Amino acid sequence: MSSSLIFTFIFTLCLLSSCFSSSASLHNATDENVTLRPQHEIQKLKLIREHLQKINKPTVKTIQSPDGDTIDCVPSHHQPAFDHPMLQGQRPMDPPEMPKGYSQENESHEDFQLWSLTGESCPEGTIPIRRTTEQDMLRASSVRRFGRKIRRVRRDSSSNGHEHAVGYVSGSQYYGAKASINVWTPRVSSQYDFSLSQIWVIAGSFADDLNTIEAGWQVSPELYGDTSPRFFTYWTSDAYQATGCYNLLCSGFIQTNNRIAIGAAISPVSSYKGGQFDISLLIWKDPKHGHWWLHFGSGTLVGYWPVSLFTHLMEHGNMVQFGGEIVNTKPGGSHTSTQMGSGHFAGEGFGKASYFRNLEMVDWDNTLIPTANLRVLADHPNCYDIRGGVNRVWGNYFYYGGPGKNSKCP
């Protein structure tokens, strides 16, 4: 794929996947709040409470996390996924066959979230779900699209504020991807900015039928109300228009694990010149039933995206991306100081720059293979950059990230 086509892809993905963050949406939301009359406020709260009743399911146990989250233990067959018309009446599938070539890593890190450090856990037959609050929904720019990426239709600009530093493969058929992702707490300079690091499995065109599966960690003050890095998932089957959402905020993703809360804060995190922590994620297509499964760490299945959610991903992906993304709202007319990764450039290396390591793909035969022909691209390299490499310990890897606003990124 040519360099110009990749830039077109990145730009188009930006256009399609803008998320809670443009200065225009902030301005419009502010204007709306100023002009709201009391009856509109009452109607908005009514809509919020109806939505909360829909997504916050009856619980058999509640756990209070040290960071203020409430974790509800919900019977697995009552989780939000089964509200989906195509999934009603179903129950979670049995675990699939792991890809050939998969090897257990030495450390599990199953207790990698703050809430689980309390020593509490959800009973067998339930799943932990981070409870959504009125405050969560009031922060969102749109009640109707809460928990979803907002599709931008504005096409008169060379950028809508989304900036990337990614490694990618394309031009073949992809049945999954695996990587270990270094976790940090990047500074996010505005409630309407975010910073994330993730894997994308992509199929379809970039008009109206884009299919994506996404997983990684993100800092999003608007979505979560704080600046902690949080484990997240996302999906769409129509270019972020009407389908898909983050985590379990709509019907779709089916969780099978009772120890991981999607959307909950990650602990520990990496520190500059200090300890490094990463999470290992594997997304792959079960060859027997066709569902796309998510695996965490060593031996932990999180759940799956049912194949019936998708069109192009019913078969396979045609591109995989790994890397970072931020939103630049240009506060005061200059580039945001929102950080990507560790907030340091790739050239600083281990312990300072953020990394992805051991990048692998799943082929047509359900076999994990080293990533071949990995290309790297930073669309604003003076703000956030990326450098790839290969060695015997980390296989395919790259360092990436940056501080945002600086003397070369005004």
Print pLDDT tens along the chain (410 aa). Answer: 545 445 445 545 544 444 433 333 333 433 444 444 588 788 889 999 999 999 999 999 999 999 999 999 999 999 999 998 888 888 888 899 999 988 765 444 567 899 988 889 999 999 999 999 999 999 987 888 888 876 543 232 345 688 999 999 999 999 999 999 999 999 999 888 999 999 999 999 877 889 999 999 999 999 999 999 999 999 999 988 889 999 999 999 999 999 999 999 999 999 999 999 999 999 999 999 999 999 998 779 999 999 999 999 999 999 999 999 999 988 888 999 999 999 999 999 999 999 999 999 999 999 999 998 999 999 999 999 999 999 999 999 999 999 999 999 98
* Cβ-based neighbour number of residue 33 at 10 Å: 12
- Cα distance between residue 262 and residue 246, in whole Å: 9
Q: Which residues are catalytic?
A: 214, 325
If we measure between CA atoms, which residue out of 249, 305, 223 comes closest to residue 54? 249
Q: What is the largest CA-CA distance in the chain?
A: 64
Contacts of 8 (CB under 8 A, 6+ apart): none
If we measure between CA atoms, which residue out of 303, 309, 311, 307 comes closest to residue 288? 307
Residue 235 sits at the vertex; the CA angle it makes with 277 and 55, to the nearest 5 degrees, is 95
Per DSSP, what are the bridge partners of residue 61? 73
- Cα distance between residue 374 and residue 322, in whole Å: 10
If we measure between CA atoms, which residue out of 261, 389, 272 comes closest to residue 341? 272
* Cβ-based neighbour number of residue 244 at 10 Å: 26
Q: Is the torsion defined by CA of 268, 274, 277, 278 positive or negative?
A: positive
Place of tokens 């209070």: 64
365, exposed or middle or buried, with CB in 10 Å at 0-12, 13-18, 19+? exposed
- Cα distance between residue 114 and residue 95, in whole Å: 26
* Cβ-based neighbour number of residue 300 at 10 Å: 17
